[in-house]
A and B are shown apart, each in its own frame.
Chain A
Amino acid sequence: MDLGLFFMQSVVLRARLESALGERIPSPFTDLDTRIPEIVPTGIVPVDALTGGLPRGAITEIFGPPSSGRTRTMLSILAEATGRDEVCALVDGNDAFDPASGIAADLDLKRLLWVRCHKLEQALKTTDLLLQGGGFGRVVMDLTDLSLSYLRSVPLASWFRFQRAIEKTPTVLVVMTPESMVKSAAALVLRLEMRGTDWSTLLNAMDVNLEILRSRRTRPSISKFEFRISK
């Protein structure tokens, strides 16, 4: 077949499809993966330097064992957003958030919607409602204190549903778990681990390892680093 004729036919076919789908799907042939997501800082300088920050319209997963600095990292992310006058939501899976710790981390509590859940189902339903409602800069889903057996029962499709719900919005969904649960639905995965503590009769500081397990936007040159959280 003449190559020119084939090219013309494909152009006409594309124009027809675009015309037919135009009202429902704008730009149907645009590759979604080629879009560059907007990035917002985490408030942790090396993480921002290595990953660029948290991608808007995507899920970021932070996981680790107890006393690994997850909550301090979460507060830093929320404080950074409220410092920019954005409104945030915290879906507290086991009612563990301490408002005094939030204030100490410079979190503006007036800009924080706190939903105190006591069951996994409540947390999932609430997150769904918040993402559908829209308008929140960060939505943090804190599931760290929930039982692993319950968390493993959440189907992977649920995380992909959340990802689809926010992919064209400026919302950052941060999921905090004791183990990696979100899998490939997450655009950025961070693992935290306590390396040691510093006691000089008083509890002074905690040394934490942070590992970047996945970063879809950039391939970090260093995937592991340490930081210290002092009291």
Chain B
Amino acid sequence: MFACIHVPNFSGESHAALSDCASAFSPRVENTAPGTVVFDLEGLERLFGSYSEIAEKVAEHVRAAGIQAHVAVASNPDAAISAARGFAGVTVVGRGTEAKRLQDLPLDVLAPSPEILETLDRWGIRTMGAFRNLPAVQVSERLGQEGVRLHKLARGAGSRPLVPHWEALQFMEVMELEYELGTIEPLTFILSRMLDQICSRLRARNLATHEVHLALGIYLRVLRLPVPVRNPKLLTKLLILDLEAHPPGAPIQQVKVEAIPTKPRVAQNGLFVPLSPEPEKLELTLARIAAVVGEENVGSPETLDTHRPDAFRIRKFEVTAERFGNRNLLLKTCEPDRAKQGRMVGSSHRLSEVERTTPAAPPKDLLDGAATPPLPRRGLRLSRNDQLEGGDFALRRFRPPLDATVQLRNNIPSWIAFHGVHGPIEKLSGPWRSSGDWWRPNRWDREEWDIEVHNLNVGPPTSALYRIYYDVHTDRWFAEGAYD
């Protein structure tokens, strides 16, 4: 048995939704014509009940999708199409009763060519019943093969196989606006409606999306998500936040939204899974934070494989439950899109570059204490002398490094002033020389010093530890950060 869904007065907008409705019941769906789909019901009785019950359920599903359509069930595709085109509402044509049920329908239902329709009209043949009563041989002699095919359809005796479509799924909505939109706010309602439609189609196929393409005329935005979602409200908010951060430069005349389908996320949380944000909620939080501080200032830091000071980049922060196992939650930091999301902060240095780092020979009086660099140690703990010892010092960086005025005595810094700090340098070690990228415009060549400054600026004198450096190329001193 086959079912046909036919939309009278089809406007061309909802055929994809019609196809999705049919796909919700059967994988074998034929897109017969715009506004008409036929699908195979074989074997569905166990799932949905009798054919009349199936027809009712199909009609209900189509109504829920906001489509007014006729539904018919018959033993062959052509009879189902004829019944759906001819009868309003839900029709079930029993096996062997096709000719009798279809006999009163007009010939227009068969969609004959205008010439044949005119000929039959001149003969006084206006219903399918009258047409099927004509002898088949004479119809063949006078109307040719097309007449024979129509005669067979009029008898409800079609035997053609179903031709299911296997086109790639496309979840796209396009809307031409009657007037131009100059602001983002009205777009919220349009996007919400379009994404509602797309997400309901995704849900009907048990799919989700991890990438949404938004085209506002020639202005394109791509929203990439770390996890598949099908929540229209979330997608609308993310798109609006993205548009607020990157507004289109021209009024909007056309809106096109396309969601790239993927399998939905399957996650099973355990009682002892470490605390971590919900991926969907996190994405929205990150978008909102990016709107406050800028997209380039949110993410996960990653140091670069270079000796250049303060060389790092920000990567997109993602928490993804990819695998169900002893560690349910995996964190995934993925390479951002180079054109739009990728950014490198602090350095334009490439990983393959060669640098040289040369600790300069310290002054003779400092050599005695020179030691191998300490290994990083974890946590802060008790030492032998019942004091606590910790890992490395932490550096708080000044970004960008602060200009400093330094007085030298015997080529060793003795006094410093920079941004609210001035005073004698009580203790120091250095210089530690490093250089690199000598073949590039952004080369560096510097001498670092660790200093303890007795700050006389305001209030009671206090001491603090800083890292300063002398830039060999610019012949200037800078304060790079404070040890804390």
Contact = CB atoms under 8 A, between A and B. Distances in A.
Interface residues of A, number: 77
Interface in B425-484: 427, 429, 450, 452, 462-465, 481-484
Interface string A129-145: 11011111100000011
A203 B392 CA distance: 11
Interface in B253-294: 274-278, 281-282, 284-286, 288-289, 292-293
B468 to A, nearest CB: 13
A71 B484 contact: yes
A86 B333 CA distance: 15
Interface string B285-308: 110110011000111111100000
A126 B292 CA distance: 7
Contacts of A65: 462, 464
Interface string A184-204: 000000000010010111111
Contacts of A222: none
A70 B483 CA distance: 10
A8 interface: no
B429 A201 contact: yes
A53 interface: no
Given A98-B395, A129-B292, A197-B427, A72 B382 contact: no
Contacts of A199: 427, 429, 452
Interface string A39-78: 0000111100000000000000000011111111111100
B297 A116 contact: yes
A122 interface: yes
Given A45-B381, A114-B314, A126-B289, A101 B395 contact: yes
Interface string B85-104: 00000000000000000000
B393 A117 contact: no
A135 B389 contact: no
A106 B383 CA distance: 19
Nearest to A227: B388
Nearest to B378: A106
B331 A133 contact: no
A1 interface: no
Contacts of A205: 389
Given A87-B276, A134-B277, A230-B389, A104 B376 contact: yes
B135 interface: no
A98 B393 contact: no
Given A66-B482, A71-B484, A206-B483, A227 B301 contact: no
B317 interface: yes
A135 B297 contact: no
Contact of B387 (A106, A145, A203, A228): A228
A44 B380 contact: yes
Contact of B399 (A67, A95, A101, A114): A95
Contacts of A203: 393, 427, 429, 450, 452, 465, 483
B: interface residue count bin: 35 or more
Among B277, B331, B333, B463, the one with the most A-chain Cβ atoms within 10 Å of its Cβ is B277
A137 B275 contact: yes
B136 interface: no
Given A96-B397, A145-B396, A202-B429, A112 B284 contact: no
A195 to B, nearest CB: 10
A167 B394 CA distance: 30
A70 to B, nearest CB: 6
A148 to B, nearest CB: 11
B16 to A, nearest CB: 35
B369 A201 contact: yes
A98 B454 CA distance: 24
Interface string B364-408: 011111110010101111110001111111111111000000000
A99 B312 CA distance: 7
A170 B277 CA distance: 12
Contacts of B370: 201-202
Contact of A105 (B312, B387, B394): B394
Contacts of B380: 43-45, 72-73, 76, 227, 229
B302 A99 contact: yes
A228 B300 contact: no
Contacts of B286: 113
A79 B378 CA distance: 9
B312 A66 contact: no
A113 B382 contact: no
A119 B288 CA distance: 16
Given A104-B391, A106-B391, A229-B380, A136 B277 contact: yes
Contacts of A87: 274-277, 319, 331
Interface string B226-239: 00000000000000
A229 to B, nearest CB: 4
B465 A135 contact: no
A96 B289 contact: no
Contacts of B329: 85
B310 interface: yes
Contact of B392 (A101, A145, A228): A101
Contact of A101 (B289, B369, B393): B393
A133 B399 contact: no
Nearest to A68: B484
A115 B281 contact: no
A151 interface: no
A48 to B, nearest CB: 10
Contacts of B378: 79, 106
B327 interface: yes
A24 interface: no
A103 to B, nearest CB: 6
Across chains A and B, which 8 residue pairs bring their CB atoms closest together, nearest first?
Answer: A135-B277, A227-B388, A201-B369, A133-B285, A85-B274, A71-B484, A71-B394, A67-B464
27 contacts: A67-B463, A70-B484, A71-B394, A76-B390, A87-B274, A98-B394, A99-B303, A100-B303, A103-B376, A104-B394, A105-B394, A109-B301, A112-B300, A113-B298, A115-B289, A118-B293, A126-B292, A133-B277, A135-B282, A145-B396, A194-B464, A201-B366, A202-B366, A202-B371, A203-B465, A226-B388, A230-B390
Interface of B: 274-278, 281-282, 284-286, 288-289, 292-293, 297-303, 310, 312, 314, 317, 319, 327, 329, 331, 333, 362, 365-371, 374, 376, 378-383, 387-399, 427, 429, 450, 452, 462-465, 481-484
Given A98-B396, A202-B371, 9 more contacts: A65-B464, A66-B484, A76-B391, A87-B319, A106-B391, A112-B300, A112-B301, A126-B289, A197-B465
